Amino acid sequence: MPRYLELAHNTGENTDLLVELVGTMVYMPTDKWQQMIEHCGVIEFIHNQLVNEYAEDDIILECVMLCGTICRNDEIA
């Protein structure tokens, strides 16, 4: 998962790749979200994607779904 997050941080203008990377992370079966949040800047990444005034609807949707995935664990939520 750290590699997916690194790629997502560095997609630049390639929004199609960003949508696919975030969409893949949504369905990754892992209990390591706490580590990803602390070490990979997941919250900052999501925040940056949602703050952009020009964000595509697909990116916003995938970020919201990622938040839902992260919040499935009571400790992390």
26 within some domain: yes
pTM (predicted TM-score): 0.84
Q: Is the pLDDT of residue 22 over 90?
A: yes
49 within some domain: yes
30 within some domain: yes
Residue labelled with tokens 């590699």: 3
Percentage of residues of the chain with pLDDT beyond 90? 31
- pLDDT, tens digit (0-9, with 9 covering 90-100), for 33-63: 888 888 888 889 899 888 867 778 899 999 9
Domain that residue 51 falls in: 2-70
Percentage of residues of the chain with pLDDT beyond 70? 99
Average predicted confidence (pLDDT) for the chain: 87
* Total domains in the fold of the chain: 1
Element (H, E) at 15: helix 15-26
